[in-house]
Amino acid sequence: MNWETVIGLEVHVQLATKTKIFSAASTAFGATPNSQACAIDLAMPGTLPVLNKQAVNYAIMFGLAIDAEICQESVFERKNYFYPDLPKGYQTTQLEKPIVGPGSVTIQLADGTEKSIRIHHAHLEEDAGKSTHEGDLPYGMSGVDLNRAGTPLIEIVSEPDMRSAEEAIAFAKKLHSIVTSINICDGEMSQGSMRFDVNVSVRPDGSSTLGTRTETKNLNSFKFMEEAIEREVERQIDLIEDGGTVAQETRLYNGDTKVAKSMRSKEEANDYRYFPCPDLLPVLVSDEAIDELRRSLPELPDARQKRFVSEYALSDYDSATIASDSNMSAFFETVVGDSNHAKLAANWVMGELSGSLNNAGLGFTESPVSAQQLAGMVARIADNSISGKMAKQVFEAMWLGEGTADEIIDAKGLKQVSDSGALEKIVVDVLAANAVMVEDFINSEESKRKKKLGGFMGQIMKASKGQANPQQVNQILLQKLNELL
Phi then psi for residue 275, to 5 deg, are: -155, 155
To the nearest whole angstrom, how small is the minimum distance from the Cβ of residue 119 to other proteins? 24
Cα 469–473–477 angle (5° rounding)? 175
Q: What angle do CA 351, 355, 360 make, to 5 degrees?
A: 155
138 contacts other proteins (rule: CB under 8 A): yes
Which helix (H) or strand (E) segment is 75 a member of? none
Helices 371-382 + 388-399 axis angle, to 10: 160
The yes or no reply on residue 25 touching other proteins (CB under 8 A) is yes
Check if the beta carbon of residue 274 is closer than 8 Å to that of residue 97: no
Establish if 223 lies at the interface with other proteins (CB under 8 A).
no
Q: Is 357 an interacting residue with respect to other proteins (CB under 8 A)? A: no
Q: What are phi and psi of 28, to 5 degrees?
A: -55, 140
137-152: burial string, b at 16+ Cβ within 10 Å, e else: eeeeeebbbbbbbbbb
Entry field: residues in the chain: 485
Verify binding: residue 137, other proteins, rule CB under 8 A.
yes
* Among the residue ranges 25-33, 237-245, 327-335, 458-466, the one whose residues contact other proteins (CB under 8 A): 25-33
Concatenated DSSP letters for 318-336?
Answer: HHHHHHT-HHHHHHHHHHH
Instruction: Report the nearest approach of other proteins to the CB of residue 165 (Å).
Output: 29
If one asks whether residue 377 binds other proteins (CB under 8 A), the answer comes out as no
Q: Report which residue type is found at 335.
A: V
x/- mask, other proteins, residues 48-87, rule CB under 8 A, reads: --xxxxxxx------------------x-------xx---
Classify each residue of 155-193 as buried b or exposed e, where b means 16 or more C-beta atoms within 10 Å of its C-beta: bbbbebbbebbebbbbbbbbbbbbbbbbebbbbebeebb
Q: Does 271 bind other proteins (CB under 8 A)?
A: yes
| Residue 146 or 314 with smaller CB distance to other proteins | 146
Size of site (CB under 8 A) for other proteins: 48
Please check whether residue 193 is in contact with residue 9, taking contact to mean a CB–CB distance below 8 angstroms.
no
Buried b (16+ CB within 10 A) or exposed e, 439-456: eebeeeeeeebeeeeeeb
Shortest distance (Å) from residue 198 CB to other proteins? 22
**Can you tell me which of 1, 2, 32, 454 binds other proteins, judged by CB under 8 A?**
32
State the minimum distance, in angstroms, from the CB of residue 318 to other proteins: 37
Q: Does 360 bind other proteins (CB under 8 A)?
A: no
Shortest distance in whole angstroms from residue 272 CB to other proteins: 10
CA distance 68 to 64: 6
Decide: is 270 part of the binding site for other proteins (CB under 8 A). Answer: no
The residues that bridge with 150 in the sheet, in sequence order, are none
Q: Which of residues 82-121 bind other proteins (CB under 8 A)?
A: 83-84
Please classify residue 244 by burial: count the beta carbons closer than 10 Å to its beta carbon, then call 0-12 exposed, 13-18 middle and 19+ buried.
exposed
Q: How far is the CB of 137 from other proteins (least distance, A)?
A: 6
Span interacting with other proteins, options 99-107, 279-287, 302-310, 386-394, rule CB under 8 A? 279-287
- Which range in 132-140, 333-341, 358-366, 410-418 contacts other proteins by CB under 8 A? 132-140
Site string for other proteins, 142-181 (x = CB under 8 A): xxxxx-----------------------------------
Which pairing describes strands 214-219 and 194-204: parallel, antiparallel, or unpaired?
antiparallel
Q: Give 273 or 462: the residue with its C-beta nearer to other proteins.
A: 273
Q: What angle is formed at CA 80 by the lines to CA 76 and CA 81, rounded to 5 degrees?
A: 120
Instruction: Examine residue 284 and tell whether it contacts other proteins (CB under 8 A).
Output: yes
Residue 25 vs 70, nearer CB to other proteins: 25
Q: Which is nearer to other proteins, 280 or 297 (CB)?
A: 280
Cα–Cα nearest to 216, from 237, 203, 231, 204: 231
Candidates 5, 36, 236, 367; binder of other proteins (CB under 8 A) is: 36
Contacting residue, 18, 294, 392, 425, with other proteins by CB under 8 A: 18
Q: Under the criterion CB under 8 A, does residue 42 sit at the interface with other proteins? A: yes
Binding site for other proteins (CB under 8 A): 17-19, 23-26, 32-39, 42, 44, 50-56, 75, 83-84, 131-133, 136-138, 140-146, 271, 273, 276, 280-284
